[in-house]
Amino acid sequence: MALPADIQAGAWRAVPGIVLALALALAARLGSHEIGQALVEGRPSPVSPVLLGIVLGVLWRHFIGVGARTEAGVRWILGTLLAIGISLVGLRLTLPGLTGVGVIALPVVALCITVAILVSRFVGRLLGLSPGLQSLLAVGSAVCGCTAIVATAPAIKARDIDTGTALTCVVLIGSLGMLLYPWLASAVFGSAALPSGVFLGSAIHDTSQVIGASLIYAQQFNSPDAVAVASATKLLRNLSIIVLVPLLAWSAHARATDARRRLAVPWFVVAFVVLVVLRGLGDHLVATDAGARGAWSELLDVAQSMSELFLICGMTAVGLNLSLSNMSQVGMRPFIAAAIIAVATAGCSLGLTALIIAGK
Angle between helices 290-321 and 49-63 (to 10 degrees): 30
Contacts 24+ apart (CB under 8 A), 11-15: 13/69, 13/72, 13/73, 14/72, 14/73, 14/75, 14/76, 15/73
* Residue 263 reports pLDDT greater than 50: no
Please answer whether residues 200 and 182 qualify as being in contact, where contact means their C-beta atoms are separated by less than 8 angstroms. yes
The answer to whether 200 touches 178, Cβ cutoff 8 Å, is no
How far apart CA 123 and CA 21 sit, in angstroms, is 38
Average pLDDT value for residue range 227-232 = 85
- What is the rounded distance in angstroms from the CA atom of residue 28 to the CA atom of residue 12? 25
The domain ranges of the chain are 90-314+321-358
Q: What is the mean pLDDT of residues 277-291?
A: 82
pTM: 0.63
For 77-145, give the DSSP string. Answer: IIIIIHHHHHHHGGGG--HHHHHHHHHHHHHHHHHHHHHHHHHHHHHHHHHT--HHHHHHHHHIIIIIH
Q: Tell which residue, 232, 236, 254, has the closest CA to residue 245.
A: 254
Q: Is pLDDT at 250 greater than 80 in this prediction? A: no
For the cut 70, the answer to whether the pLDDT of residue 204 exceeds it is yes
Query: Taking 70 as the threshold, does the pLDDT of residue 324 lie above it?
Result: no
- What is the residue-wise DSSP string for 31-89? HHHHHHHHHSTTS--SS-HHHHHHHHHHHHHHHT---HHHHHHHHHIIIIIHHHHHHHG
pLDDT digits (tens, 9 = 90+) for 86-102: 778 777 766 665 666 77
Arithmetic mean of pLDDT, 17-44? 78
Q: How far is CA 47 from CA 26, 34, 222, 329, in A?
A: 14, 10, 12, 32
Q: What is the pLDDT of residues 117-164, one digit of tens each?
A: 899 889 989 998 888 888 888 888 887 776 677 667 766 777 767 777
State the Cα–Cα distance between residues 177 and 13, nearest whole angstrom.
Answer: 33
Report yes or no: 191 and 60 within 8 Å, Cβ to Cβ.
Answer: no
Please tell me the least confidently modeled range out of 194-203, 258-267, 287-296, 307-316.
258-267
User: In whole angstroms, how far apart are CA 302 and each of 88, 102, 285, 299, 343?
Assistant: 10, 27, 19, 5, 38
- pLDDT at residue 5 is higher than 50: no
274: three-class secondary structure by DSSP:
helix
- Look at residue 211 in the predicted model and tell me its pLDDT: 80
Q: Residue 121 has what pLDDT?
A: 87
Average pLDDT, the chain: 78
